[in-house]
A and B are shown apart, each in its own frame.
Chain A
């Protein structure tokens, strides 16, 4: 029974079916339980959250990643799977906290002051949530004070800053300077991304990393996970 549910979770992650309302890719899955319903069932019969995550959710995302790299899957497929995993993680978070299971950490993300472009930011948020991070989306046109306040209060391990425009990218440096002034800079890894920025700009303003796209953001954070 438990093996069947875990296999079904993995399969539905691959299909990108968050709930039973989603059609996925294979027609024969319509109206069958999606990842959310299956994870609830798994928790009800006391399957360990670690098993759900490693053998169901993560194993499914690994298959999705492989299909993406062979161009069988595209970004909408990847996002659908990540959203399904993200929804599953929301359900499991209280269980994980009560069991003192260590999570991958908090990731805050914002589009900087003066900039309202958020497609890239939203995609990063979805993918990182799907990768198991606790994502806090601070929104668009976010002033540095609000970012600093969030870092002080919520203590995220990672901060993502996004900007599309050459006129707003300088705000990223303003945020980093504000973190320094508040003596919070060393508490958080700052990642930047967006069409206007580059690795050179990241070095110039003192960011920890430049992410060329949303997948790069996942790779960078996974790198931090491995190096501690």
Chain B
């Protein structure tokens, strides 16, 4: 709280300054090339905003069974994909022959990077629809087709995602001019304005904060407009320990909290009761490049810290795990992502952006990696299941122990079967190879193809027709009913 009054924050957005000033913030103009203001927000203004921020946030979905209800004081975790990468990683398995023994052949995964397209986004949304552990979808790839422009990017990314996935969809906006179009699209899908309010099938994320302690002009404007429409939004801050935040844990935590509280305060002053998520994406700097090091141990610690801080305020937390440093799937990516996936999930954030398929610090998306991540989260889910330790269970086990102790073979194997198919025993790793062969990538690839072949429930023909009629800029090739005929 002290940070928000001394030094306060710098806003490059005048409307935010006006709103905060009208509620008691001290404002002082800063001279320079870009117009900006020093804003000092009194503690009681922040506390008032915290009171009006909903402690329970509902994120709806095209399929209502996929609705996410998040209580700020309940450590129930939803796993979400994301976020937008420029690079799509294809995978192939060429065969290599041994130089010393031509009878020996091995298939080796080969990854090829290319720019992401709208077709890739459709594929990603399609597979994530079928990934069992994915609860919600943040687009995973930036669409960079020749016919995609700044003006039509938003409507195409929203339509491609919503048409291939029935889970909750969260996105940022490329152009604020498209906000009304994407909201209208969501209304048409949800069944009208009121229906969208009751079942918010879309939500937004804005990085209005630039660390340290600055409100960016354009994203703050977007944030204010989304809040005015009352749709759920993430107030996200991503300071980097060592460069844009102190390298020490206490420092980066104090700063990120001040940044997120400032954003939440602004949103609640714009439209009290706007559903917001406490968005924390802290990261430590790499010492060799001063780039992000999402794979560092500290990054996971920062995220866990933020989960606890958000819980203190009772506001649902948007946290991050699984982001890793390497550029292709492999041992390093598995180790880094699993470490953070396990520890951050255990801390209980409500909305966990867990980087399904992401590599190279969120610059690369690989569908094969997303399939692997799904299997790994299945293990984490099992690990965190509710244990059954009650009186009847203890009595049953005592009886079992006594029965087996009285037998000559003294084996409990006979008692396995009743629980073998009940879900009480964790499954075999689904990509286990035979013998000593490491077939993980090939088996995951087969699984990926299997999921792509499985149909998804698209938006119905009539609604699709209305969307194409009312919303300008959607690529005709995305209309599956037109391309079918």
Q: Which residues of B contact A83 (CB under 8 A)?
A: 414
Measured as residues with beta carbon below 8 angstroms from the partner, the interface class of chain B is 10 to 19
Give the residue of A74, A119, A122, A123 whose beta carbon is less than 8 angstroms from that of B420: A74
Main DSSP-derived SS at the B contact region = loop
Q: Are A76 and B417 in contact (CB under 8 A)?
A: yes
Q: Which residues of A contact B421 (CB under 8 A)?
A: 25
A83 to B416, CA, bound (A): 14
Q: A80: CB under 8 A from chain B?
A: yes
Q: A165: CB under 8 A from chain B?
A: no
Q: A79: CB under 8 A from chain B?
A: yes
Which chain B residue has the least Cβ–Cβ distance from A76? B416
Q: Name which of B408, B411, B413 has the most chain A CB atoms within 10 A of its CB.
A: B413
A111 to B346, CA, bound (A): 44
Q: A77: CB under 8 A from chain B?
A: yes
Distance from B57 Cβ to chain A, minimum over Cβ atoms (Å): 41
Which chain B residue has the least Cβ–Cβ distance from A15? B417
Q: Which residues of A contact B416 (CB under 8 A)?
A: 76
Mark B437-481 against chain A: 1 for CB-CB distance below 8 A, else 0.
Answer: 000000000000000000000000000000000000000000000
Q: Are A16 and B411 in contact (CB under 8 A)?
A: no
Q: B423: CB under 8 A from chain A?
A: no
Which chain B residue has the least Cβ–Cβ distance from A77? B417
Which chain A residue has the least Cβ–Cβ distance from B417? A76
Q: A23: CB under 8 A from chain B?
A: yes
Given A25-B421, A76-B420, A77-B420, A119:B411 Cβ within 8 A: yes
Which chain A residue has the least Cβ–Cβ distance from B428? A71
Give the residue of B409, B417, B418, B428 whose beta carbon is less than 8 angstroms from that of A122: B409
Interface residues of B in 247-272 (CB under 8 A from A): none
Interface residues of A in 109-140 (CB under 8 A from B): 118-119, 122-123, 137
Distance from B117 Cβ to chain A, minimum over Cβ atoms (Å): 38
A147 to B472, CA, bound (A): 88
Distance from A204 Cβ to chain B, minimum over Cβ atoms (Å): 24
Distance from B438 Cβ to chain A, minimum over Cβ atoms (Å): 19
Q: Are A122 and B414 in contact (CB under 8 A)?
A: no
Distance from B323 Cβ to chain A, minimum over Cβ atoms (Å): 34
Q: Are B413 and A23 in contact (CB under 8 A)?
A: no
Q: Which residues of A contact B417 (CB under 8 A)?
A: 16, 23, 25, 76-77, 80
Q: Are B414 and A76 in contact (CB under 8 A)?
A: yes
Q: Which residues of A contact B420 (CB under 8 A)?
A: 74, 76-77
Which chain B residue has the least Cβ–Cβ distance from A121? B409
Which chain B residue has the least Cβ–Cβ distance from A16? B417
26 CB contacts below 8 A, A to B, read A16-B417, A23-B417, A23-B418, A25-B417, A25-B421, A71-B428, A74-B420, A75-B413, A76-B413, A76-B414, A76-B417, A76-B420, A77-B417, A77-B420, A79-B413, A79-B414, A80-B414, A80-B417, A83-B414, A118-B409, A118-B410, A119-B411, A122-B409, A122-B411, A123-B413, A137-B408
The 8 closest A-B pairs by CB, nearest first: A76-B416, A122-B409, A76-B417, A76-B413, A79-B413, A122-B411, A80-B417, A76-B420
| 20 more CB-based (< 8 A) A-B contacts, given A25-B417, A119-B411, A122-B409 | A16-B417, A23-B417, A23-B418, A25-B421, A71-B428, A74-B420, A75-B413, A76-B413, A76-B416, A76-B420, A77-B420, A79-B413, A80-B414, A80-B417, A83-B414, A118-B409, A118-B410, A122-B411, A123-B413, A137-B408
